[in-house]
């Protein structure tokens, strides 16, 4: 009696191995389709973001001094940090200042500041003062 139960188990195990050899996993293809208008909307949003007055966002100041040295600092920055937005030179009496970036959060600005400080040790994060428009 025990022998028959043991024989059934062996038969069951052996047949399971044979069946497992014939089993196949599912394979398939994923096709993602999107509306072509999405690309147009993304392009339009990028244009709007560039045109928007972003003076209230955080920036990094890498230089403060005369025009000649400001231009040197700007070109040096643009050669070394191509992934960060281009630098701009602003004039605030009596000095020229080189500002880079356009960050929404302080965390994002501080992350780039850590990189920039390797080349420009006097760099710092700030929010530009908004100038009131004359009517």
pLDDT tens digits along 83-123: 877 789 999 889 999 999 888 889 999 999 999 999 999 99
3-class secondary-structure state, position 94 = coil
Tokens of 21: 């050899």
CATH class of 52-126: alpha beta
- Write the pLDDT tens digit of every residue in 19-76: 766 666 677 788 888 888 888 888 888 777 666 555 578 999 999 999 999 999 999 9
Show the CA angle centred on residue 50, arms to residues 135 and 43, nearest 5°: 135
Q: Which residue ranges make up each domain of the chain?
A: 52-126
Report the predicted TM-score, pTM, of the whole model to 2 decimal places.
Answer: 0.56
- Please tell me the distance from the alpha carbon of residue 113 to that of residue 121, in angstroms, as a whole number: 10
Q: Give the C-alpha distances (Å, rounded to integers) separating 100 from 39, 40, 88, 125, 127.
A: 28, 28, 6, 10, 12
């Amino acid at each position: 009696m025990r022998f028959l139960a043991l024989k059934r188990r062996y038969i069951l195990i052996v047949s399971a191995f044979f069946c497992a050899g014939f089993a196949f996993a599912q394979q398939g293809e994923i096709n993602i389709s999107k509306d072509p208008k999405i690309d147009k909307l993304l392009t339009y949003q990028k244009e709007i973001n560039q045109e928007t007055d972003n003076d209230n966002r955080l920036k990094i100041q890498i230089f403060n001094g005369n025009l000649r040295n400001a231009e040197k600092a700007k070109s040096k920055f643009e050669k070394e940090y191509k992934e960060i937005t281009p630098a701009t030179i602003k004039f605030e009496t009596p000095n020229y200042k080189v500002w880079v970036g356009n960050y929404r959060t302080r965390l994002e600005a501080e992350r780039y500041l850590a990189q920039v400080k390797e080349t420009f040790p006097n760099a710092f994060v700030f929010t530009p003062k908004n100038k009131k428009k004359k009517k």
